[in-house]
Amino acid sequence: MLISLARPAVKAAGLHLSSRLCFRLCSSAMASSVARLSPGDPSSYSRPDQAVVTRMHLDLAANFSEQVLTGSVTLGVKRVDETNLLQLDCSKLNIYTVKDDKTGKQLHWDVGAAGPCGSKFTITLPDIQPEEDKEEDINITVSYSTSPSSSALQWLSPAQAGGDQPYLFSQNQAIHCRAMIPCQDTPSVKVPYTATITVPSPLTALMSALRKGDPEQLPGDLTQFKFSQPVPIQSYLIALAVGQLDSVRVGPRSLVWGGKKQLELAKIDFSETEEMLTTAIALCGPYVWGDYDILVLPPSFPFGGMENPCLTFATPTLLSGDKSNANVIAHEIAHSWTGNLVTNYNFEHFWLNEGFTVFTERKIIGRMMGEQMRHFHAILGWRDLEECVNSQFSPSHPFTALVPDLSGVDPDDAFSTIPYEKGSTFLWYLEDLVGGSEKFEPFLRAYYEHFIYQSITTDQFKSFFLSYFSSNPAISSIDWDTWLYAPGMPPYKPNFDATLAVKSRELADKWISGNMPEDKNEFEEFSAEQKLEFLGILLESDKLGHEKLEKMDKLYGLSSSPNTEILFGFIRIGIKGRWEKSVELGLDLATRQGRMKFCRPLFKDLWSWEEQKERVKKCFLDHRAEMMAVCREMVGKDLGIKE
């Protein structure tokens, strides 16, 4: 998944709280001594150490009038010990029946009280008969339906979807799959799945899996689609979308799906998909997923991209017609190895997904566009990290540790750029330490090969790294506790090549000093990254006066930029300068799309403008029903407005 938060910089302070104990004490206080839900995952009730799900088949129908999925899931279950209980996760699911497929008998089940991480769903397994093979899987079918308020699903009317048909899409990371499917909703469990999805005609269903055969027309003006994902995946990668969809081919194994208007731009913006894939393969090893398709979702999708295998979900805010936001696709492609093949054991180790992915994304960019551009992307990321540490949280906040304690915490509440940028910086540091890319890139490939299809902890990564580089004396200097468990900025800042940033700084200095340019040529010659750096420097400077903002907008056309990143950056500068025009621009951008990277900072920035609070509150209340649950809840928490 790709996120990034907003900017300004406060000078990095690498806090050397070098013991795990200090961090754990802070976390324990914050978590109010809430016990971990399971021994391996603080965010899951499941107990795969007792009985584990080994495969899954979904048979679901999309009911748009009721806004629910109805049907069943068949789970292959293997007993790990002598238990007679299967423990699953669920959230707001209506469970109807649970049966043993072999005998057809109904099984006893119970759903516990709801908490921050949903509910425990316990099924009593059939007794083992003397003549049975204890190693044989048990097949259990659960008939159920989702809730109209499922946190995993976004149901859109035709008007909201921008067409004449309704739309449905899921977003299951971090722990929302349990609101779509009763399952062991922990990344420590990875299973293959198949699915049969029935939808109203003329809608198309897509999943994070390979399409099997042609759609089948059914009585009642329904269409049935079949899918297979043979590679074992964690539950949050199960994804579904249903809508009036067209497609265009952008590579030998890649289609882009979306509305017709979206596809016109997507064909340009995602035209380098195959080059990115082949570059990633050279870095990481074979691509095991077959297809690599992209689905451009409606604007309410809350993230930049989601690495659902075979079908990356992408926000329409990436579409600008000039490929300037295509790095998001490089990020999601990198996830094909970092996260999807080698996975964090639970969300305390989320940096093993996102830190590795950002690091690899920038390696892809470096090979395609040059090392200076890789460094430039890292410079922009460092500014995001500084704002996250110093403004979103604080330098002593436990969630700014690379490996936080999430006991009693919904992972969405801890979600930030920390695992992305702090994790990537840690890998950059390790690469520099062991002798550069010629030493480190072979290690990364060996790491993916060694842990392929597994879910691992940070300690497993550490052990493999130390073993691989055991003959390198430099590794004895690594302060693992500080890197992994201390809050705040990293204790090391790479020596970034800032060559491409020089012109951005020079132009920004002109505006700050009042020596404003009279023509737009210099700015128009900038790359998108240079424009973002220019805006980032202005945002972290003293606020600009209204006259400067008016002239800048007139000269560069920033308030009408087709690049959402640039528009967002300019609006934030205007809000900081208390420029009245920025209020309307900010509320418009915060509500016509639902990407949290933009929504949350815009609402928070405007909320800090005392005279605008009532207007901001009304805008949020008027539009929150259009937001996906995770975005609605996080913005509500930011503003202190409860559901």
pLDDT in tens, 194-216: 999 999 999 999 999 999 999 99
Q: Buried (b) or exposed (e) across 290-313, using 16+ Cβ within 10 A? A: eebbbbbbbbbbbbbbbbbbbbbb
Q: How confident is the model at residue 8 (pLDDT cuts 50, 70, 90)?
A: very low
Q: In terms of Cα–Cα distance, which of 252, 285, 248, 295 is closest to 267?
A: 248
CATH number at residue 540: 1.25.40.320
- Specify if 7 maps to a domain: no
- Specify if 2 maps to a domain: no
**To the nearest 10°, the Cα dihedral for 516, 517, 523, 524?**
140
Bond preceding residue 174 cis, omega within 30 of 0: yes
Q: Are 82 and 221 found together in one domain?
A: yes
Q: What is the mean pLDDT of residues 411-432?
A: 96
109, with CB counted inside 10 A (0-12, 13-18, 19+), is: middle
- What pLDDT score does 408 carry? 86
- Specify if 116 maps to a domain: yes
Q: Are 322 and 228 found together in one domain?
A: no
Q: Are 152 and 224 found together in one domain?
A: yes
**To the nearest 10°, the Cα dihedral for 323, 324, 330, 332?**
-100
332 catalytic residue (yes or no): yes
Helix (H) or strand (E) holding 48: none
- What pLDDT score does 284 carry? 98
pLDDT digits over 104-129, tens only? Answer: 999 999 999 999 899 999 999 998 76
CATH number at residue 102: 2.60.40.1730
User: Tokens standing for 206?
Assistant: 């897509």
Q: Are 193 and 210 found together in one domain?
A: yes
pLDDT digits over 161-190, tens only? Answer: 988 999 999 999 999 999 999 999 999 999
Q: Are 117 and 168 found together in one domain?
A: yes
How far is 522 from 424, CA to CA, in rounded Å? 32
18 has pLDDT over 50 = no
How far is 235 from 139, CA to CA, in rounded Å? 18
Q: Are 73 and 144 found together in one domain?
A: yes
Residue type at position 474: A
19 has pLDDT over 50 = no
Q: Which residue has the tokens 């304690």?
A: 405
Q: Are 557 and 572 found together in one domain?
A: yes
Q: How confident is the model at residue 556 (pLDDT cuts 50, 70, 90)?
A: very high
Q: Are 425 and 554 found together in one domain?
A: no
Q: Which residue has the tokens 């921008």?
A: 162
SS3 294: strand
Q: How confident is the model at residue 131 (pLDDT cuts 50, 70, 90)?
A: low
If you compute the radius of gyration of the chain from its CA atoms, what whole number of angstroms results? Answer: 25
- What pLDDT score does 83 carry? 85
Read off φ and ψ for residue 209, nearest 5 degrees: -160, 175
- Specify if 520 maps to a domain: yes
User: Tokens standing for 40?
Assistant: 């391996």
Mutual angle of helices 423-434 and 437-450, in 10-degree steps: 120
- What pLDDT score does 136 carry? 83
Q: How confident is the model at residue 82 (pLDDT cuts 50, 70, 90)?
A: confident
pLDDT digits over 136-166, tens only? Answer: 899 999 999 999 999 999 999 998 998 899 9
* More confident site: 120 or 392: 120
Q: How confident is the model at residue 22 (pLDDT cuts 50, 70, 90)?
A: very low
Of 421, 456, 485, which residue sits at a domain end?
485
- What pLDDT score does 6 carry? 37
Q: What is the mean pLDDT of residues 76-105?
A: 96
Mutual angle of helices 596-607 and 581-592, in 10-degree steps: 150
135 has pLDDT over 90 = no
Residue type at position 482: T
- Specify if 3 maps to a domain: no
**How many domains, the chain?**
4
- Specify if 10 maps to a domain: no
Average model confidence (pLDDT) across the chain: 93
pLDDT digits over 570-581, tens only? Answer: 999 999 999 999
CATH number at residue 392: 1.10.390.10
Q: Are 163 and 115 found together in one domain?
A: yes
CB 30: neighbour CB atoms within 10 A?
A: 16
Active-site residue, selected from the candidate residues 272, 307, 332, 633 = 332
Strands 51-63 and 190-200: parallel
Q: How confident is the model at residue 36 (pLDDT cuts 50, 70, 90)?
A: low
pLDDT digits over 310-344, tens only? Answer: 999 999 999 998 999 999 999 999 999 999 999 99
Q: How confident is the model at residue 282 (pLDDT cuts 50, 70, 90)?
A: very high
Q: Are 465 and 388 found together in one domain?
A: yes
Bridge partners of residue 86, in order along the sequence:
123
The beta strand positions in 125-279, using DSSP E, are 138-145, 153-156, 167-170, 190-200, 204-207, 210-211, 216-218, 222-234, 240-243, 246-251, 254-258
Residue type at position 295: L
- What pLDDT score does 11 carry? 28
Ordered alpha helix ranges (H), 476-545:
480-485, 502-513, 521-524, 528-540
Bond preceding residue 158 cis, omega within 30 of 0: no
Active-site residue, selected from the candidate residues 45, 236, 345, 420 = 420
Q: What is the mean pLDDT of residues 391-404?
A: 96
- Give CB contacts under 8 A, 24+ apart, made by 214-218: none
- Specify if 184 maps to a domain: yes
Q: How many CA atoms lie within 13 A of 619 on its CB side?
A: 23
Q: How confident is the model at residue 261 (pLDDT cuts 50, 70, 90)?
A: confident
pLDDT digits over 591-642, tens only? Answer: 999 999 999 999 999 999 999 999 999 999 999 999 999 999 999 999 999 8
User: Tokens standing for 106?
Assistant: 């109904």
* More confident site: 329 or 27: 329
Instruction: Give the range of the structural domain holding residue 271, as residue numbers without chain letter.
Output: 245-339
pLDDT digits over 490-505, tens only? Answer: 999 999 999 999 999 9
Of 176, 210, 243, which residue sits at a domain end?
243
Q: How many CA atoms lie within 13 A of 412 on its CB side?
A: 22
1 has pLDDT over 80 = no
361 catalytic residue (yes or no): no
93 has pLDDT over 80 = yes
Pick from 4-8, 140-144, 297-301: least confident? 4-8
Q: What share of the chain is helix, strand, coil (3-state, %, to 5)?
A: 40, 20, 40
- What pLDDT score does 14 carry? 31
Q: Are 73 and 35 found together in one domain?
A: no
SS3 179: helix
- Specify if 407 maps to a domain: yes
Q: Are 74 and 27 found together in one domain?
A: no
Of 485, 518, 541, which residue sits at a domain end?
485
- What pLDDT score does 461 carry? 98
17 has pLDDT over 60 = no
How far is 3 from 475, CA to CA, in rounded Å? 31
Pick from 27-41, 252-266, 294-308, 526-540: least confident? 27-41
Length of the chain: 643
Q: How many CA atoms lie within 13 A of 234 on its CB side?
A: 28
pLDDT digits over 349-384, tens only? Answer: 999 999 999 999 999 999 999 999 999 999 999 999
